[in-house]
Chain A
Amino acid sequence: MSTLTLANPAHRDVPKWTLRKIVARVLIYLLIVGGSVFFVVPFLWMATSSIKAPGDIFIQPPKYLPYLQFQPRWRNYVDAWNALPFGAFVVNSLTVSVTATLASTFSSCIVAFGFARLRFRYRDALFVVVLSTMMLPNQVTLIPLFILFKYLGWINTLKPLIVPTIFGSAFYIFLLRQFYLTLPIELDEAARLDGCSSFGILWRIIAPLSVPAIATVALFSFIAHWNDFLGPLIYLNDLDKMTIAVGLQFFKGQEASDWNLLMAAATGAVVPIVVVFFFTQKLFIQGIALTGLKS
C-alpha cells in the first residue's frame, strides 16, 4: 500500500508532454468552452438587452456589442426602478431573507446538536420524522397553511414567510447534523468534565468548529428565500408588500413588451445573488456535495 502511494507522486512529477496528451488537453478546453456557451450566452443576452434603447432591441439581425454596435442606455435601470416600487421590493426581500435566514439557521443549529450529540429515547425515530418531512411535497400543506394564515390575519404581511422558519428546517438540520457528527465526541466529554452545559458545548465548542457548515446553511437559506416565488405569490397582495421575485413577475405582466426594462429589472434581481455566490461558491459546492454523498 505504502509503496503504491509513494510511487504515485513520483510518477506525476515527470510531465510527459506527448502529442496525444496535448491533443487531449486542447479537446477538453474546446469542449468546456463550447459547452459553457449554452450557460453563459443567456446571461450575456440578458445583460446586453438590459442596456438597449427600444430602437436597438427590436431589430433584426440583433446587435450584440455595446458601444460598437449600439449605444448603451443605462437609463433603463432608472426607468425600470421607477416603474414599480422596487425600493420596497428590495426592502421586503431583504427583511424576509435576513430574518428567515438568522432564525432558521439558529434553530437548526440547536436541533441538529440535539440529534448529533445528545442521547435520548426515540432519538433515531424522531430523526426519521425530520427526514420524512423533506420528502413531503409542500403543495400538500399549501392550502391549509393559506387558510391558517388567513385566519390569523397574516395575509398581505411578511409573517407567513418568516414565522415558520423560526422552528428550523429539516434540510438544514440534516446538513448540520451530518457535519456535527464528524467532530470528535471527546470534545464534548472533556468540556462536560470541566462543568460545561450542553448549551455551553454547542456555543463554545461545536458552533465555532462548524462555521463552514453554518455558513453554508445560512447561504442556502438566504438564496432560497430571496428566490422564493410561490410563497410570496400566495400570501402577498399589495404591490408595496411584495418581494422582488413576485414584483418581477408583476412587472412582466405590466410591461409585457418592454423587454429592455424587463431585462434591466431581471439583471438587477440576479446580480446580488451572483455576487454572493461568487464570493462563497466553495462553501456552496461543499454543501451540495455533503447532501449528495451522505444521504
Chain B
Amino acid sequence: MTVQVDSFPRAQVARRRRLKWSHVEGYFFVAPFFVGFVLFTLGPFIASLVLSFTSWGLFGAPKLVGLQNYQQILTNDPSFSTSILVTLYYMVGHIPLAMALAFAVALLLNQQVWGMPFFRTVYYLPAVTASVATAILWAWLFDPTFGLIDQGLALIGIKGPNWLGVTTWAMPAFILMSLWSIGDMMVIYLAALQGVPQNLYEASAIDGAGRWMRLRHVTIPMMTPAIFLTLLLQIIGSFQVFTSAFILTNGGPGNATLFYVLYLYQSAFQNFRMGYASALAWILFVIIMSFTLFQVWLSRRWVYYEGEQR
C-alpha cells in the first residue's frame, strides 16, 4: 500500500514533513518542563556555583574571591566540621534503625489477618503529618517535666533525661523521633514484599526451608532493589534534615544538632553570607552525588534485579 504512495515525490515530501511535525509536537508537549527547568533549576544551579566563588551579603555587588570560601570551609570552619559530624552521627543512628523497623513493620503488615487496612493506615499516618506539627508534638513529648516520655520512664523508675537540653541526649532524641515517620519506607517494602513470586516460597517450602530460611534466602534477596532504593533515599534525606532541627533545637545545645542544611540556612538567611552558603550548598551537592554514585557502584555486588543476566 505504501509503496505506491511513496513513489509520488510529493507524497514523500508530505510524509517527511509530517514526521518532522510529530517531532515538533513532541518538543511542544515536553517544553513546559524544560522552560521551568532552565529558569528554576539549571539557571540557579549554575548561578549557585558562580556565587560560591564570591563574597556577598545581599547588598552591593558580589565580590569575586576565588576559592576562598571553599578554603575557609574545608580548613578553618569548626561549624562546618561539626555539622558534618552531626549529620554523620544522625545517619549512622537513623538509617539502620529506621530501615530495620520499617522492614519489620512491613513484614508484620504483610500478614493476611482481619483489619489489616486499618493497621496499615495507623502505621502510615505519621508520614503524612506536616514536619512542623511533628516537631512541635515531639518537643512536647520530650519535655523533661511534663512530657509523656519522661513521665512514662518515671513509671518504671527511670529518671528520664532532659532530651533536647543536654548534648548527649539531643541526637538520640532526633533519631527516636525519626523512627516515627517511616511510613514511606514501609509502603515501599510492603509493595516489594507483595511482588515476591509466590512460587519461590512454595519451592523453598518443598525443599524444607523454614520461616527463617525463607526470609533469609528468598524474601531478602528478592527485596534488595527496594532496600537499595530506600537506603539511597535515606542517605540523601539524612543530609537534608532541616525542619525538625530548626524547630526543636535550632542546632543546640552547643551545636549538638547543627545539621548540615541548618548550618547552610543560618549562613545564608541569618548571617546573610550568600557566597559562603552557596559554597556550602555545592559541597553538599558533591557529597550527595558521591554517596549516590558510590552506592550505585556498590549495589552491583548485592542488589538482585529479576530477569537480569549475570
Q: Any chain B CB within 8 A of the CB of A114?
A: yes
* A284: chain B residues within 8 A (beta carbon): 128
Q: Is the CB of A140 within 8 A of B48?
A: yes
Q: Is the CB of A137 within 8 A of B240?
A: yes
Instruction: Report A195-216 CB contacts with B as 1/0, cut-off 8 Å.
Output: 0001000000000000000000
Q: Any chain A CB within 8 A of the CB of B120?
A: yes
Q: Is the CB of A36 within 8 A of B122?
A: yes
Q: Is the CB of B44 within 8 A of A141?
A: yes
* B133: chain A residues within 8 A (beta carbon): 248, 266, 269-270
Q: Is the CB of A111 within 8 A of B32?
A: yes
Q: Is the CB of B113 within 8 A of A141?
A: no
Q: Is the CB of A114 within 8 A of B45?
A: no
Q: Any chain B CB within 8 A of the CB of A100?
A: no
- Among A129, A139, A142, A144, point to the contact of B37 (Cβ < 8 A): A129
Of all chain A residues, which has the CB nearest B292? A135
Q: Any chain A CB within 8 A of the CB of B95?
A: no
**Interface range on chain A: under 10, 10 to 19, 20 to 34, or 35 or more?**
35 or more
Using a CB-CB cutoff of 8 Å, which residues 49-65 of chain A contact chain B?
Answer: 49, 57-62
Q: How far is the CA of A32 from the CA of B288 in the complex (A)?
A: 36
Q: Is the CB of B44 within 8 A of A148?
A: yes
Of all chain B residues, which has the CB nearest A219? B128
* A31: chain B residues within 8 A (beta carbon): 108
Q: Any chain B CB within 8 A of the CB of A277?
A: yes
Instruction: Report B223-234 CB contacts with A as 1/0, cut-off 8 Å.
Output: 000100110000
- Among A39, A126, A288, point to the contact of B123 (Cβ < 8 A): A39
Of all chain B residues, which has the CB nearest A110? B29
* B138: chain A residues within 8 A (beta carbon): 42
- Among B113, B137, B236, B242, point to the contact of A46 (Cβ < 8 A): B137
* B229: chain A residues within 8 A (beta carbon): 292, 295
* B169: chain A residues within 8 A (beta carbon): none
Instruction: Report B266-295 CB contacts with A as 1/0, cut-off 8 Å.
Output: 001100001001100110110011001000
- Among A38, A145, A150, A249, point to the contact of B180 (Cβ < 8 A): A38
Given A147-B274, A148-B44, A167-B35, A270 contacting B124 (CB threshold 8 A): no
Interface majority SS on A: helix, strand, loop or mixed? helix
Of all chain A residues, which has the CB nearest B150? A60
Using a CB-CB cutoff of 8 Å, which residues 152-207 of chain B contact chain A?
Answer: 154-155, 179-180, 184, 187-188, 190-192, 195, 199, 202
Q: Is the CB of B187 within 8 A of A143?
A: no
Q: Any chain A CB within 8 A of the CB of B302?
A: no
* A252: chain B residues within 8 A (beta carbon): 136, 139, 247
Q: How near does chain B come to A110, taking the closest CB pair, in angstroms?
A: 6
Q: How near does chain A come to B260, taking the closest CB pair, in angstroms?
A: 9
* B242: chain A residues within 8 A (beta carbon): 229-230
Q: How near does chain A come to B281, taking the closest CB pair, in angstroms?
A: 5
Most A C-beta atoms less than 10 A away, residue of B145, B187, B277, B282: B187
Among B19-27, B63-71, B79-87, B214-222, the stretch in contact with A:
B19-27
Closest 8 CB pairs of A and B: A167-B36, A114-B29, A120-B26, A289-B191, A292-B188, A144-B44, A141-B44, A144-B47
Interface residues of B (CB under 8 A from A): 22-30, 32-37, 39-41, 43-45, 47-48, 51, 58, 105, 108-109, 111, 113, 117, 119-126, 128-133, 136-141, 143, 145-146, 148, 151, 154-155, 179-180, 184, 187-188, 190-192, 195, 199, 202, 226, 229-230, 236, 239-240, 242-243, 246-247, 261, 264-265, 268-269, 274, 277-278, 281-282, 284-285, 288-289, 292
